[in-house]
Amino acid sequence: MRVFVALDLPSEVQSQLAVQQFLLPIPRKVPRDQFHITLSYMGEMRETEVEALHDNLARLSVAPFDISLSGFGLFGRAKPNAVWAAVAPSTSLAHLAAKLDRAGRIAGAVIPARNFLPHITLGRFPAMKQDKAAPLERAVIAGAGFRAGPWEVEEMVLYQSTTLPEGPRYDALARYLMG
């Protein structure tokens, strides 16, 4: 099963992002109910490994902290294929992501070393050629002043991701309160 650990968003922040989705020329939008901040992508894990991961996550001690959103970005460089809302830099969030990566590796997940870039995906689409991407790039630059939050992070969620013809489906397997 393919799993990841993420943060859900308050409904007010979801609403603000839905408005931004409407304003940005995104070819294919992510449904509002799928907005989340991925903290650690564990990938494919066997059921016994997911059980070990659950035990590791249940034992983590993390104090609640505040986060906020700041601006937008694109994945795909010369040929964009996704647009996202950026999470403002947060040392607490980065430390949590590192702890989760460690907990996943101990449980058996193969998590490659990476630069942590917390974000909320607003749209995914086939790679765009430069002439088609220009309006979206301009809109992302114009949205640099977008802000949402802050809000207090009090819970993280272990999700299972299932790929379907219409797009991914995320099912919560467990929730972990902080504090």
Q: Provide the annotated active-site residues.
A: 36, 119
DSSP collapsed to 3 states, the chain: CEEEEEECCCHHHHHHHHHHHHHCCCCCECCHHHCCEEEEEEEECCHHHHHHHHHHHHHCCCCCEEEEEEEEEEECCCCCCEEEEEECCCHHHHHHHHHHHHHHHHHCCCCCCCCCCCEEEEEECCCCCHHHHHHHHHHHHHHHHCEEEEEEECEEEEEEEEEECCEEEEEEEEEEECC
